[in-house]
Amino acid sequence: MSRIGIVSIYTLQEVRRDRLFWGFVPLMLFVIAFTFFMRETSIVAGAEAFNRSYIALTALAAAVFIVLLVVSSMYREIDSKAIFMVITKPIARHEYILGKFIAFSLISLGIIMISFAGAFILGVGPAKPLAVHYILCLFEQLVMIMAALAITLGLRSLPSSILGVAGFYIIGHSTKKMVDIGMNMASAWVPAIKVFYYLFPSLSLFSAQAAVLEQGTVSWTDILFPVGYAALYLAVLFLIIVIDIRKRDF
Amino acid sequence: MPAKKDIFKKVLLPCALLILLVLHAFLVDVGWKGSETKNQYKVVPKLNLPWMKFISLDQDRFASLLLSLYLLSARPVDCYEWDYKGMLNYMRVITRLDPYNKGPFFFAVYFMSYRTDSDGRLIFNYLEEAQDKFPDDWKLPWQVSYVAKIKFKDNDLAYQYALKAANAPYAPPIVKILPAILKRNLGDRESAVAYLTTLRDHSKDPKEIEPIDEELQRLSRGSLPK
């Protein structure tokens, strides 16, 4: 087995022992319960409220869960010095990062598949738009995993890392809106806002929510651009991590 | 060899990062431009107070005024496109609470007929509800007929609504002969003549008979005035 594979398996075993990992079950139960609650709060559009809530909450819960898992796992490894056990072995640091990334990506894939199956069973929308939406969600999660790895390895503090990743997620979802608001309200600030726009990822691209809720047309090619974009941003984050940790002794 | 490896790490990696960031900036622009051209209903006028007046003040009803404020507060704030399903749900709330408020139906005809996709067609289901509430009203089906003909290019639907308007009591003569005009414009002269002849036979009002005769003469001459 390759060194990357070994790191992945080691990470998965560590995650399995983490109590946070099993928090996924109550989290999903809460999401489903809250979705049913939202349906009851609407007077005239119960089904729509249900579908909207499910789509939004599963994406949010999956992102929060995987980010917490990555940050806590990485932080614990750095804090307990367990990371020395790995990086002192004949393994390149980029292999270590890739191993970690693959392990968390597999967990994310599992979460997305469960969310998709739930959406399909509960009749949230037609199968094809749902599949496209959740594939896009998976790529958003991959970007978030790599960002969480970069931020945790950079900051090495649990609260700062969580705040940093949360900020990354929020800014990533609002870059376009920030520019639009700036254009209308404070055009002098637009160049400054554009720095965020070009540096942070545009996470809003990873969604087909409108197609699911309005039963609009969606094709498999709608995935191609976001996938290419995600691959590019993953490469950016990976390079940042490699440059950052190449001579770090943690 | 170690020196070469060092150059790779010190120079090439940051350069690659810079190139990737530039590429990222380019893709961000392409991605949003792509999504904007795909969504052709991105920029539409927002709901504003003059429109609310249209709903609330047409009938001088306090309930209407109050409910239009409800609509105002429920508006999709600064959205790029109207959520037609959501809007119609709010309209239905208004018409349930104030059943004889025609404002929302006129609002649907005037301001929600810009989109001619499947969502745009939802207004016709809503307007059907007006037929049950105001069976004697000719204004609404007459306007819907216009919207169906001009904006949706749906001649059959336009004819159906024109027929509803013509059958309403107190409909003016021009509205009464509208179905025949639509049929004539579609090239169906026989149906137009049959409709007008039946209408003439059942009419005793000279003010009605006069335009019917004029239209029948036009049909017999074969002229097609616009």
What is the per-residue pLDDT across A157-195, written as a single tens digit (0 to 9) for each?
899 999 999 999 999 988 888 877 777 677 778 888 888
CA B66 to chain centre: 24
Residues of chain A in contact with residue B86, where contact means CB-CB under 8 angstroms, are 45, 48
Contacts 24+ apart (CB under 8 A), A75-82: A75/A152, A75/A156, A75/A157, A75/A158, A75/A161, A77/A14, A78/A152, A78/A153, A78/A156, A78/A250, A81/A250
Radius of gyration of chain A (CA): 19
pLDDT 10s per residue in chain B (226 long)? Answer: 556 666 766 778 888 888 888 888 888 877 776 665 555 443 333 444 445 445 543 444 545 544 544 554 444 443 335 667 777 877 787 788 777 777 778 777 766 776 777 777 888 888 888 888 888 888 888 888 888 888 788 888 899 999 888 888 888 888 888 888 888 888 888 888 888 888 877 777 777 788 888 888 887 776 554 4
Q: Mean of the per-residue pLDDT values for chain A?
A: 88
Whole-number percent of chain A with pLDDT over 90:
50
Whole-number Å distance between alpha carbons of B156 and B129: 19
User: In chain A, which among 5-64 make CB contacts under 8 A with chain B?
Assistant: 43-45, 48
Residues of chain A in contact with residue B21, where contact means CB-CB under 8 angstroms, are 198-199, 236
- Residue-wise pLDDT for B25-56, tens only, equals 888 877 776 665 555 443 333 444 445 445 54
Query: Testing the interface with B: which of A224, A236, A242 to mutate, by most B Cβ within 10 A?
Result: A236
Close Cβ partners of B115 (under 8 Å, ≥ 6 residues apart): B41, B84
pLDDT value of position B28: 81
Q: How far is A204 from chain B (nearest CA, A)?
A: 10
- Residue-wise pLDDT for A134-144, tens only, equals 999 999 999 99
Contact pairs from chain A to chain B, CB under 8 Å: 58
The answer to whether A11 and A100 have CB atoms below 8 angstroms apart is yes
Residues of chain A in contact with residue B16, where contact means CB-CB under 8 angstroms, are 239
**Listed residue (A249, A202, A211) closest to A229, CA to CA:** A202
SS3 category, B174: helix
The answer to whether B74 and B90 have CB atoms below 8 angstroms apart is yes
Closest residue on chain B to A172 (Cα): B28
Handedness of CA A180, A183, A186, A187 (dihedral sign): positive
Contact B31 A232 (CB under 8 A): no
pLDDT value of position A12: 93
Interface confidence (ipTM) of the complex: 0.76
Q: A50: exposed, middle or buried (C-beta count within 10 Å: 0-12, 13-18, 19+)?
A: buried
Contact A205 B13 (CB under 8 A): no
pLDDT value of position B222: 67
The reply to whether the predicted model has a pTM over 0.80 is: no
Contact A243 B13 (CB under 8 A): yes
pLDDT value of position B43: 34
Closest residue on chain A to B118 (Cα): A216
Task: Name the pLDDT band for A54 (thresholds 50, 70, 90).
Answer: very high
Candidates B17, B34, B90; nearest CB to A240: B17
User: CB of A185 within 8 Å of any CB in chain B?
Assistant: no
Which string of b and e fits A109-136 if b means at least 16 CB within 10 Å? eebbeebbebbeeeebbeeebbbbbbbb
Q: Is pLDDT larger for residue A66 or for residue B193?
A: A66
Amino acid of residue B28: V
pLDDT value of position A250: 67
pLDDT value of position A164: 94
**Listed residue (A113, A214, A165, A5) closest to B82, CA to CA:** A214
User: CB of A232 within 8 Å of any CB in chain B?
Assistant: yes
Candidates A198, A214, A239; nearest CB to B13: A239
**Listed residue (B111, B128, B129) closest to B120, CA to CA:** B111
Contact B24 A226 (CB under 8 A): no
